[in-house]
Amino acid sequence: MQHVEMIDLEKSYDNQKNVLNGINLAIEEGEFFVLVGPSGSGKSTLLRMIAGLEDITGGILKINDKVVNHLRPKDRNLSMVFQNYALYPHLTVEQNILFGLHAKKVEKKEQQKRLIETAEMMGLTELLKRKPKQLSGGQRQRVALARSVVSHAPLCLMDEPLSNLDAKLRAHMRIEIRRLQKKLGLTMIYVTHDQVEAMTMGDRIMVLNDGKIQQVGDPITLYNEPANLFVASFIGSPKINLGTAVIRDHHLIIEDSIHIPITTSDIGNIIQKDDLTIGIRAEHIFHGEEDKKTHELEVINVEHLGNETLLTFEIGKELWTAKWLGQWRARVGDKVPVKISVEHMSFFDSKTTELIKPASNTAKEQEVVAI
């Protein structure tokens, strides 16, 4: 069943330029749906429209197959976790959690039952009598989560709930939220600007830029077949390597500096010969063993990540990064042999930025394993 559906949704503040345009989207029940995009792309706005905190300028919003454009927030049967948690500073953790149930005049016994249940789930039992300012960031976050869980609303909206936490706690909370969502069977709409969070948590991801949907799909699809240059460079860390390219005399010429011979089987249906941009992921620039190397590139920076090494090369005016497994003792200025092949390259139209042809060889070496 489709839980939330948007048809041509639009939003403008004070009759100015639209901050959201033509949003068409259906979110399934029980799905973990992630909204990702750079700052100012309209993520919070979209979320607040779903919650009913912002008016909808145009289009139709349906929840449970009913049009809800006109409904007030409390009639939409959802819960929301705000970016800054929005805890009531003058109330204790317990009062904070029970605020909504109290407002809806839920029976006292039921309130206590849910409180105990939720506090246990979130590990807040010890903290119920404290005020928010006596809690750490992670604990506040859990109170905010508890407040939305305790309402038993089937739809949960979260606006960058982890942005204030340190890296370790964030990684931990990612798993907690994900587990909770599965356990309770919630439909989750989760806003983040962090693509790692999006990739690791989402069943499906929607990439938003400048108020327009760039692509909707599952994380692997977004990574392997980005619909345009924006998605390609937004998803993935380190960033995908891009370079302008032309095809001449059965050669692909990238940034006027790399020449790669190609055959028709390599480029398939590409008829366009000019204004191409190619993208290749860092893990697809391999170390070239003696007989297999295609190019020699000068290292201009080395980053050791422990089990991986990032090497940066200068290609024309672009900087490319290669990610090699293991620890490589390369030094700046060294010439290292690499293997770059067309089968790992995605082709984009430089003018429209749209994808022409995804990398033909991702599945083989990347090993997307179905378990």
Ligand X SMILES: Nc1ncnc2c1ncn2[C@@H]1O[C@H](COP(=O)(O)OP(=O)(O)OP(=O)(O)O)[C@@H](O)[C@H]1O
Query: According to CB under 8 A, which residues from 134 to 173 bind another protein?
Result: 147, 151
Taking Cα atoms as reference points, which of 86, 113, 88, 110 lies closest to residue 99? Answer: 88
CA 151 to chain centre: 27
Alpha carbons within 13 angstroms on the beta-carbon side of residue 116 total 5
| Residues contacting 252, CB < 8 A, separation 6+ | 245, 246, 259, 260, 261, 262, 267, 278, 342
Candidate ranges 85-93, 185-193, 194-202, 322-330; the one touching another protein (CB under 8 A): 85-93
Number of Cβ within a 10 Å radius of residue 185: 9
Interacting partner of 268 out of ligand X, Mg ion, another protein, none (Cβ under 5 to 8 A depending on kind): none
d(CA 216, CA 22): 14
Site pattern 324..343 for ligand X (x: CB under 6 A): --------------------
Q: What is the DSSP string of 329-369?
A: ---TT-EEEEE--GGG-EEEETTT-BEEE--S-SHHHHT--
d(CA 236, CA 224): 10
Site pattern 20..39 for ligand X (x: CB under 6 A): -----------------x-x
- Which amino acid makes up residue 7? I
d(CA 84, CA 144): 9
Answer yes or no whether residue 100 interacts with another protein by CB under 8 A: yes
Answer yes or no whether residue 41 interacts with Mg ion by CB under 5 A: no
Question: In the set 44, 139, 141, 192, which binds Mg ion (CB under 5 A)?
Answer: 44
d(CA 358, CA 225): 5
CB 151 within 8 A of CB 79: yes
Answer yes or no whether residue 209 interacts with ligand X by CB under 6 A: no
Question: In the set 31, 36, 42, 234, which binds ligand X (CB under 6 A)?
Answer: 42
Interacting partner of 90 out of ligand X, Mg ion, another protein, none (Cβ under 5 to 8 A depending on kind): another protein
| CA 147 vs CA 98, 124, 209: distances in Å | 7, 12, 31
Minimum distance from residue 103 beta carbon to another protein (Å): 4
Candidate ranges 9-17, 36-44, 119-127, 272-280; the one touching Mg ion (CB under 5 A): 36-44
State the number of binding residues for ligand X (CB under 6 A): 11
Answer yes or no whether residue 74 interacts with another protein by CB under 8 A: yes
Candidate ranges 42-50, 217-225, 237-245, 267-275; the one touching Mg ion (CB under 5 A): 42-50
Whose Cβ is closer to another protein: residue 74's or residue 292's?
74
| Interface with ligand X (CB under 6 A) | 13, 19, 37, 39-45, 193
| Interface with another protein (CB under 8 A) | 51-53, 72-74, 78-80, 82, 84, 86, 88-91, 99-100, 103-104, 133, 147, 151
